[in-house]
Structures are given as C-alpha cells and as structure tokens.
C-alpha cells in the first residue's frame, strides 16, 4: 500500500472508525471534530498533549500521548488519517500499512469531506486565508445559511477552529497550497486572494507557485465560480495561464468574479475608503450599485480587500448586505491575526502571524494607521528555508522599523541549519542603517522591551505561535474563551 492514497478507495459508512495521527494539529483537530459530528467514531494520537487534545478528550475522543502501534491496532480503525509532517517510519503508520488499513493524508481527507457537501467555498492565497474564511463563515451564519466551517486558527465565535453546520449542505474552508494539498479539495466557489512566492521548501520559484494555483482553479466543476483580486498581477498571470490551458482542452474559463478598490475594474468594489481612529470604513458596491457601508474593527487595507473577498464569496451562497454590515462591525479577527492581547507597561500588544515579508509589510502598514507613540517590533522568522531564500525581502520589509528585535528562527519541520540565523538579518539591517538586535531568549527580549517601552507605545509580536506566546506572557492573556 502506498503511504497515502490520493483519495478514499471505499465508502465510509456512518459509525466507521477513523484514527488521526497528529490529531493535535490545528487542522487535524478540527477535522476530527467534523468527523465526529457526521457520525464517525474517532480516536487519535499526538506527540504531546496540548490544550487542543484536552479539548478533544473533553468531547469524548480517545487520544494517546505518543505514537505506539498498539494504540492504533487496539482501536481497529477503518481509516487512518495523518498529517503531511508524520514521517514514513512512524510506528502507527507502519502498523496501519502492515494491517492493510487504508491511510490518507490530511488534505485528502478534507477533500473527501468537501465532496459530502452540495456547496463548498474554498479560500486560497498566500496571505489572508484565515481572516477571509472566518469572515465568510460568519457572514453566511448571520444570513441563516448554517455552514460547516474548517479554519486554520481558533475563532472566538466558534470557541474552537470549526463550526458544525447542517450536514451535507454548505462547507467553508481554507485551502492551502503547501505541498499542493489544495489540489485534493473540491470547490463550487474558490477564492484566490493573492499569489506570492512562499513555501520555498516545496516550490522552486514564483512560476511554480502560479502554476499550482492554475491547477487549483482548473479543478473547479463546470458551474464553479472563481473569486479574484483585480489588483494582483500574479493572479492575473494565473488567469492568463488558466485560459491557455482551458483553450487547449477546448473548455471555457469558469465564471470569474473580481473584487478591488475604487479605481479598479471589478464587480465588487470598496469605495470612499477612509480611516477613523486607524480603522477602515468604506462603501461596498456590487455591479455599480450600493451594497453596504462597512466599518471594520481590524486595521489595514489588506483587511479591506479580505472583507471584500468574503462578501463576494458569501453573496454567492446566500450572504446578505445586512449580514455584511452587522458581522464586520464586530469582527475582531481570528486568533493570531492582528490579535490585541492586552497591554504591557502601558503599551498595547498585538500578536500577528506575519511570517512572510509581504505579510509583515501589510501588518506594519496596518499598525501605522493606529494612533500610538513608538512601535517596538519583535519578529521570529518561520523555517530556515524561507528565511534563507526570502532573506533580502525580509530585510527590506523590516529595515525601516523604529526598532526590531529578532528571536532565533523557528522550525518544526526542518532540522537546524548552521548557515542561516536571525543574527544574519540583524547584521544586514544594521549595515543598511536600521535598528535591529538579536534576542537569545524570551527573557532577553522582555528585558529589552522593559528598557524601551512607555505608555502609549505599540508592541508588535510577529511570527509563528512560538513567539506569539510571548505576547500572551507579556499581557497575562489566556487564549481560552
């Protein structure tokens, strides 16, 4: 049996038993919840217990700490689902193969779930997926559409990463391009928010990234709709390639729905954009007719376009202008997306997953619109390969910060590489006249902040969950709602 068949080779009956290897992952834990809600018996394992595994145990799932063949074999699963990060030599995965139990990866299982729903909105793009998926889900919920939702972060309204809606009717999910996983999904509506060079450990260049988005868009069924930004040149190039590919196959393009700002040719437009106390307000126009006036609680022009994309996706599945107005004026963001964690020494602390140079730039621009005195940035790069290949872009995005302190690179899927360190970013930024330093530990970073921070300042903690935990430590916030 191959490590992971592309899709299920048999039909899972209600009551079937599914074992998740790596069940504590942000996506896996959500998929386990959805699986239970539609009638499957679920168990699983993870290297370490966490808040997420505790939550699942609370829901009645059997979860093991550590991976042992006996855990899986005693459960006698009909199907084993594993994360892409689980190595081939994992004892449970080996046991499943030897017992000839079908194994599929997380993305294939999510794709299988997609196909159980009449309507599926998949939201893709290099940045903004979680925010836009959360917005779309809440817009549809408020409009009475009762979606099932799968998110890559916790959302206060869900108290978890998922929402369990009417089985088989409407599903809203994030669609990530990492390791081509979104090619296994099924969509009736697909959004591509933007395309940038990222996931450098599995794409050799921007061209390769654009090509995989072409394939994603090409997977839409005949009646499918593609929601796209009118202002993203890489997305426009993707559409050109898609058109050529479709012409060769004798097929028309899927229906394209464009969104953009005032002066851009698009069905959905944000007009009269202005900022009140750093927060965006704008009018949404659909086909040149007024649709709704929107006041956002989250800053930045990138969130204006995320909101526009969400409104367009929701509208295609029963969203309403009233829902857009009501939901977006209260939307505080998903966990780790410009999350205001509290104050430290009188300064506001914001945690954000900005782990790509373009995302860091967008977050810094958003922060600049908020009234404050000084900005102190704490940044932790995510993965050695991304830091190495996008090195100049990181330097360019962060070199003009008033002050930035770097934690060492974090990676849970690569081994340490001695030839790249956050110290290299510090050195280069300072050579260019910037103000950067290296923090050996959270304690060192905190001591540096203690020397600098004054009431009325803003502390931005940017990067993966590892460093965002520092934001919670500074403010004493607990993520659990």
pLDDT of the residue at 13 = 87
Angle 385-391-397 from CA coordinates, rounded to 5°: 130
For residues 310 and 105, what is the distance between their CA atoms, to the nearest angstrom?
28
pLDDT score of 465 more than 50? yes
pLDDT tens for 47-99 read 999 999 999 999 999 999 999 999 999 999 999 999 988 889 999 999 999 99
Report pLDDT digits (tens) over 335-394.
Answer: 888 999 999 999 999 999 999 999 999 999 999 999 999 999 999 999 999 999 999 999
Tell me if 243 sits within 8 A of 249, measured CB to CB.
no
Domain ranges of the chain: 17-106, 117-330, 339-475
7-14: long-range pairs with CB below 8 Å, 24+: 7/104, 7/108, 7/111, 7/112, 7/184, 8/79, 8/102, 8/104, 8/108, 8/112, 9/102, 10/102, 12/40, 12/78, 12/79, 14/38, 14/39, 14/40
Distance of CA 432 to CAs 419, 421, 428, Å? 21, 18, 6
CATH superfamily label, 17-106: NAD(P)-binding Rossmann-like Domain (3.40.50.720)
What is the Cα Rg of the chain in Å?
Answer: 22
CATH code assigned to 117-330: 3.40.1190.10
What is the percentage of the chain residues whose pLDDT exceeds 90?
Answer: 87
Kindly report the CA angle at 65 between 59 and 69, in degrees rounded to 5? 110
pLDDT per position as a tens digit, 413-443: 777 777 899 999 999 999 999 999 999 999 9
Q: Is-above-0.75 flag for pTM?
A: yes
- Looking from the CA of 345 toward its CB, the CA atoms found within 13 Å total 15
CATH topology for 339-475?
Answer: 3.90.190
The SS3 assignment for 197 reads coil
Q: How confident is residue 7, by pLDDT bands cut at 50, 70 and 90?
A: low
Which segments of 66-168 are extended strands (E)?
Answer: 79-82, 102-105, 119-124, 148-155, 160-163
Q: Strand order in 436-438's β-sheet?
A: 339-344, 347-352, 458-462, 375-379, 404-406, 436-438
């Amino acid at each position: 049996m191959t490590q992971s068949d592309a899709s299920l080779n048999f039909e899972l009956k209600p009551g079937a038993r599914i074992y998740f290897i790596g069940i504590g992952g942000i996506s896996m834990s959500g998929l386990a919840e959805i699986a239970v809600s539609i009638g499957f018996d679920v168990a699983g394992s993870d290297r370490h217990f966490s808040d997420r595994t505790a939550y699942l145990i609370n829901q009645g799932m059997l979860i093991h700490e550590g991976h042992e063949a006996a855990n899986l074999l005693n459960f006698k699963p009909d199907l084993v689902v594993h994360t892409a990060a689980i190595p081939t030599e994992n004892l449970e995965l080996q046991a499943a193969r030897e017992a000839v139990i079908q194994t599929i990866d997380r993305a294939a299982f999510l794709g299988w779930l997609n196909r159980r729903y009449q309507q599926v909105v998949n939201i893709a793009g290099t940045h903004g997926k979680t925010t836009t998926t959360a917005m779309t889900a809440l817009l549809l919920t408020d409009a009475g559409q009762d979606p099932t939702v799968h998110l890559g972060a916790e959302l206060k309204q869900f108290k978890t990463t998922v929402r369990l809606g009417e089985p088989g009717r409407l599903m809203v999910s994030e669609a990530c391009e990492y390791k081509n996983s979104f090619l296994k999904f099924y969509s009736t509506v697909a959004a591509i928010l933007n395309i940038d060079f990222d996931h450098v450990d599995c794409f050799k260049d921007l061209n390769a990234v654009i090509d995989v988005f072409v394939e994603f868009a090409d997977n839409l069924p005949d009646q499918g709709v593609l929601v796209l930004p009118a202002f993203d040149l890489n997305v426009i190039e993707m559409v050109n390639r898609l058109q050529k590919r479709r012409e060769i196959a004798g097929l028309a393009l899927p229906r394209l729905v464009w969104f953009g700002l005032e002066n851009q040719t698009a069905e959905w437009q944000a007009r009269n954009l202005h900022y009140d106390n750093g927060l965006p307000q704008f009018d949404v126009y659909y086909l040149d007719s007024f649709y709704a006036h929107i006041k956002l609680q989250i800053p930045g022009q990138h969130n204006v376009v995320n909101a526009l994309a969400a409104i367009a996706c929701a509208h295609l599945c029963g969203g309403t202008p009233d829902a857009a107005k009501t939901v977006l004026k209260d939307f505080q963001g998903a966990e780790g997306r410009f999350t205001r964690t509290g104050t430290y020494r009188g300064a506001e602390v914001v945690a954000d997953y900005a782990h790509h140079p373009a995302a860091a730039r967008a977050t810094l621009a958003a922060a600049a619109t908020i009234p404050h005195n000084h900005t102190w940035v704490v940044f932790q790069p995510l993965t050695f390969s991304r830091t190495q290949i996008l090195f100049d872009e990181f330097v360019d995005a962060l070199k003009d910060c008033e002050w930035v302190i770097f934690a060492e690179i974090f990676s849970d899927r690569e081994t340490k590489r001695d030839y790249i360190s956050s110290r290299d970013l510090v050195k280069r930024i300072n050579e260019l006249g910037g103000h950067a330093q290296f923090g050996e530990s959270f304690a060192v970073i905190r001591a540096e902040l203690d020397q600098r921070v004054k009431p009325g300042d803003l502390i931005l903690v940017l990067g993966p969950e590892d460093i965002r935990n520092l934001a919670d430590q500074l403010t004493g916030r607990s993520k659990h709602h």
